[in-house]
């Protein structure tokens, strides 16, 4: 599925959160949305997921609007993992993950074998096998984040939109989650992920979109987007760039005082 934003603007009160954003996201690639706090990353992701009505412009899915496609059909093809995702009731992890199959279930129908297989795959992929029968209120923040990610993976959608899925995780599970998202891409799906960690963004994403003040400041290959000029202008930082084992890395290093 191809998600296309055209002339997308979002306004809350007098504040423009997004201005005239033109972007496209497709299958088989992982795109990182980066930018400083308040740049509009979450707002953009919510618009891409069809969760907000644009003030101007449009979001289309394979050329169809949300209205044309229908929310229920979109839900089978697009999974969304919210920032600070949380479950209100202390349900069990496996039951949380099973919620990911709700878009695929017909009214009144029970779980199919495909549903059960997808849930098992999602639990295994996120290392949640051993947590399956634990209640959510007995998990640590990182474990809970993995369980919520498993819920989104269980949808087995063509597009996965994830808002800061690694924010609460330790380094081991940060790397694990990023590898997991790469596996989702390897299976042919598309991933759009909001990230604060520029090192992870540079290493794991095929493309980056740098947002600043609601505008797209730069979009393209990580090494082009994370140029010194862009980092200085958007983040007011200087980064170290290097190469390990043939892979380029970026490491935020110093603040630059805004002149």
Partner 1 sequence: MTRLREPPYALLAGLLALAMLALMAVSVAIGYAPFDLSAALADVITGRETLPAVILTELRLPRALMGAMTGFTLGLAGAAMQGLLRNPLAEPGVIGVSSAAALGAVLVFYSGLAGSFGLALPLGGIAGALVATVLLYVLVGRGAGTTTLVLAGVAVSAFAGALTALALNLSPNPYAVVEITFWLMGSLTDRSMDHVVLALPLMAAGWALLLSSGRALDGLSLGDDTAASMGFDLPRLRLKLVAGAALSVGAAVAVTGAIGFVGLVVPHVLRPFVGHRPGRLLLVSGLGGAVLLLAADIGVRLIGIQPELKLGVVTAVVGAPFLFSLIYRLRREGA
Q: Which of 32, 35, 40, 50 binds partner 1 (CB under 8 A)?
A: 50
Which span (69-77, 115-123, 164-172, 188-196) binds partner 1, by CB under 8 A?
A: 69-77
Distance in angstroms (rounded) separating the CA atoms of residues 126 and 83: 18
Q: Which of residues 1, 16, 27, 51 is near partner 1 by CB under 8 A?
A: 51
Q: At 251, list the tokens.
A: 């490491």
DSSP state of 135: B
Number of residues this chain uses to bind partner 1 (CB under 8 A): 36
**Which residues within the stretch 131-190 sit at the binding site for partner 1 (CB under 8 A)?**
134-135, 137-138, 148, 151
Q: Which is nearer to partner 1, 88 or 247 (CB)?
A: 88
- Kindly tell me which of 7 and 70 has the beta carbon lying closer to partner 1: 70
> Helix, strand, or coil here: 159?
strand
CA distances from 211 to 119, 142, 230, 231, 248 (A): 34, 27, 10, 11, 22
Give the separation between CA 148 and CA 165, rounded to whole angstroms: 9
List binders of partner 1 among 20-49 (CB under 8 A). Answer: 46, 49
Angle among Cα 202, 41, 213 to the nearest 5 degrees reads: 105
Rg (CA), the chain: 19
Instruction: Give the H or E element holding residue 183.
Output: helix 171-186
Considering the complex, what minimum distance in angstroms separates the CB of residue 238 from partner 1? 35
Interacting residues with partner 1 between 71 and 130 (CB under 8 A): 71-76, 78-82, 85-92, 95-96, 99-100, 102-103, 105
Of the pair 70, 242, the CB lying nearest partner 1 is at 70
Q: How far is the first Cα of the chain from the last one, in angstroms, to the nearest whole number?
A: 44
Footprint of partner 1 (CB under 8 A): 46, 49-51, 71-76, 78-82, 85-92, 95-96, 99-100, 102-103, 105, 134-135, 137-138, 148, 151
């Amino acid at each position: 599925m191809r998600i296309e934003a055209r002339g997308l603007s979002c306004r809350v009160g007098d504040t423009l959160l997004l201005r005239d954003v033109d972007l496209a996201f497709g299958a088989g690639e992982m795109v990182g949305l980066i930018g400083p706090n308040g740049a509009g990353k979450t707002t953009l992701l919510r618009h891409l997921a069809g969760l907000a009505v644009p003030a101007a412009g449009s979001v289309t899915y394979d050329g169809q609007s949300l209205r044309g496609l229908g929310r229920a059909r979109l839900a089978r093809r697009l999974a969304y993992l919210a920032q600070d995702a949380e479950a209100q009731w202390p349900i069990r992890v496996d039951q949380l993950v099973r919620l990911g199959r709700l878009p695929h279930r017909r009214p009144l129908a029970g779980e199919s074998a495909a549903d059960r297989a997808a849930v098992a795959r999602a639990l295994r992929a996120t290392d949640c096998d051993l947590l399956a029968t634990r209640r959510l209120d007995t998990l640590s923040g990182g474990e809970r984040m993995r369980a919520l990610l498993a819920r989104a993976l269980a949808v087995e959608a063509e597009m996965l939109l994830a808002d800061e899925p690694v924010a609460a995780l330790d380094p081991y599970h940060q790397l694990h989650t990023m590898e997991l998202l790469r596996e989702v891409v390897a299976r042919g799906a598309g991933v759009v992920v909001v990230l604060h960690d520029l090192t992870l963004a540079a290493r794991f994403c095929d493309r980056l979109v740098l947002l600043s003040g609601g505008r797209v400041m730069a979009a393209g290959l990580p090494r082009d987007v994370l140029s010194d000029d862009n980092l200085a202008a958007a983040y007011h930082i200087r980064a170290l760039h290097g190469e390990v084992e043939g892979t380029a890395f970026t490491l935020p290093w110093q603040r630059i005082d805004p002149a």
